[in-house]
Amino acid sequence: MHKQGYGDFKYFVGISSLAQIATREDRVCVLNILGGESSEVTPVGHAWSGGNVVFGTSPGRSGQTLDTPAGPIPV
* Tens digits of residue pLDDT in 23-71: 878 899 999 999 999 999 999 989 988 899 999 999 999 999 999 999 9
Please list the residues that pair with 56 across neighbouring strands: 30
Tell me the CA distances in angstroms from 49 to 5, 8, 24, one per residue in order.
20, 23, 5
Top-confidence residue, 11 or 36: 36
| Residue 1 falls inside a structural domain | no
pLDDT band, very low/low/confident/very high, at 8 (cuts 50, 70, 90): low
Whether residue 11 is contained in a domain is answered as: no
Position 5 in a domain: no
Domain count, the chain: 1
Residue 40's domain comprises 23-74
* pLDDT for residue 29: 95
Residue 45 in any domain: the answer is yes
pLDDT for the residue numbered 19:
74
Residue 27 lies in a domain: yes
